[in-house]
Homo-oligomer: A and B are copies of this chain.
Amino acid sequence: MSPPPSELAALREATLEQVRAALAEAVTPDRGLLQGVRALDEALEAENRLAERLARWAAEAAGAARQPPAAELLPDAPEPLRELQVAWRESGARGERLRDWLEAQAPDVAPSLAALLGPLLAARVIAAAGSLPRLARLPGSTIQTLGAERALFAHRGGGAPPPKHGLLLAHPLVRDAPRRERGRMARRLAAKAAIAARVDCYGGEPCGAELLAALGSDDPVK
């Protein structure tokens, strides 16, 4: 015997309610960071590709050697070549605006992490982890090599040396350290990033500046 129509309707409504709740949970503010970081990478890639095509075509049209993409085009350059240059400039400007937006958003989503890593790098690390809650569950050693997945697989599969840093290499404390100190600095920064991510995810008091100061003060590099 099938249930009466009123029970089916109630069941349907309850199911819909569950789906709505799951969606609302999925759309946390850090999702915007993830999409923004991917859109930024794609804009940079598009900009490079346009620059490459533009440089080649311009060189051929001028019968000259390779030209920089910003070089002024000859008066008789074909129209699509002019449009390539416009598209290249626009792609670059769009990337800039995306970067500005990410830098404005990241401190709202993850204030401690943004203070520790800088807002753009914080956004990249969150995006690499998939979300802020996922990042908050990762150990420092995993955060240390986020963005170096390819090198990590090469290490596991083929005996290559383990990667010492991934995205965190972009941080001044790592980047500007002497080469042989970089691995150690990346490990310490990753440990602080793990703390910052947990504080940001579970609503603690922002502590990025303190974490950064602790790193700098007892470190001979700085």
Contact = CB atoms under 8 A, between A and B. Distances in A.
A1 interface: no
A181 to B, nearest CB: 37
A61 B105 CA distance: 15
Given A38-B53, A46-B49, A32 B101 contact: no
Interface string A78-113: 111101100100110010011001000000000000
Number of copies of chain A assembled together: 2
Nearest to A98: B80
Interface stretch (A8-16, A23-31, A122-130, A165-173): A23-31
A82 B147 CA distance: 28
11 contacts: A23-B64, A27-B63, A31-B60, A32-B57, A38-B53, A39-B53, A42-B49, A42-B53, A78-B101, A83-B97, A90-B90
A188 interface: no
A35 interface: yes
Contacts of A35: 53, 56-57, 60, 81
Given A24-B63, A27-B63, A49-B42, A101 B80 contact: yes
A84 B27 contact: no
Nearest to A23: B63
A63 B97 contact: no
A36 interface: yes
Given A38-B53, A42-B49, A84-B39, A27 B97 contact: no
A104 to B, nearest CB: 10
Contacts of A36: 78, 80
A98 B86 CA distance: 14
